Amino acid sequence: MSEPGSGVSHPPSTTVRPVRPEDVPAVVAMVHELADFEDARDECRITTDDLRAALFGERPALFGHVAEDSGGVVVGFALWFLNFSTWEGVHGIYVEDLYVRPSARGSGAGRLLLATLAAICRDRDYRRLEWWVLDAPQLQSSRSFYRQVGGQEKREWVPWRVDGDALRRLADGTGAMASARGD
């Protein structure tokens, strides 16, 4: 096995390596495939320029790995960033998206992507590799796969989000004031 993050191979057909600028169009196309699969195509707005800037800009905070088949075709990706556990006192990796094209499922690409991220966690003394899974019937096979690799559902935590107008109001300080008044 090569150094984590620099490339991990699974003979004979799948290789995982860090994303390169030339991979961005393929990754963006797969992000849109994922959105379509999750019946959320209208919510997916990412462009190649957006992803290129996030991954390769002046101070990138997003990282990525791709899975290639034996012909060098990108068939899957993981986009991730660092999080931090105040209880553990160390960083971890949060996987924003993990996707393998249907034609490559069962090839080991998904397992290799997660194994690569797990190796980064191990080598950097991070204690957690985390991700969210949409609670939808079409993702039951994904949930089964995640259990097979040792993943555990954390149902006691409920995600919260502030976006759109509420985010703007909060940033302006008006959201907190309206809430305190009971508006």
Instruction: Reply yes or no on whether the pLDDT at 183 is more than 80.
Output: no
Count of other CB atoms within 10 angstroms of residue 19: 21
Tell me if the bond preceding 21 is cis, omega within 30° of 0: no
Q: Where in the chain is the domain with CATH 3.40.630.30?
A: 8-152
Answer yes or no: pTM beyond 0.85.
no
Two tokens at 72? 């060098």
Q: Which amino acid appears at position 98 of this protein?
A: L
CATH number attached to the domain at 8-152: 3.40.630.30
Residues in the chain: 183
Q: What is the DSSP letter of 143?
A: H
Q: Which SS3 state, helix, strand or coil, does residue 158 take?
A: coil
**pLDDT confidence band for 10 (50 / 70 / 90):** very low
Q: Which residues contact 17 (CB under 8 A, 6 or more apart)?
A: 6, 7, 8, 65, 66, 68
Q: What is the pLDDT of residues 69-127, one digit of tens each?
A: 999 999 999 999 999 999 999 999 999 999 999 999 989 999 999 999 999 999 999 99
**Based on the number of CB atoms within 10 Å of its own CB, is 68 exposed (0-12), middle (13-18) or buried (19 or more)?**
buried
Q: Which amino acid appears at position 32 of this protein?
A: H
Angle between helices 174-181 and 164-172 (to 10 degrees): 90
Q: Give 118's Cβ-side CA count (13 Å radius).
A: 9
Q: Which residue has 């989000």 as its token pair?
A: 161
**pLDDT confidence band for 143 (50 / 70 / 90):** confident
Q: Which amino acid appears at position 143 of this protein?
A: R
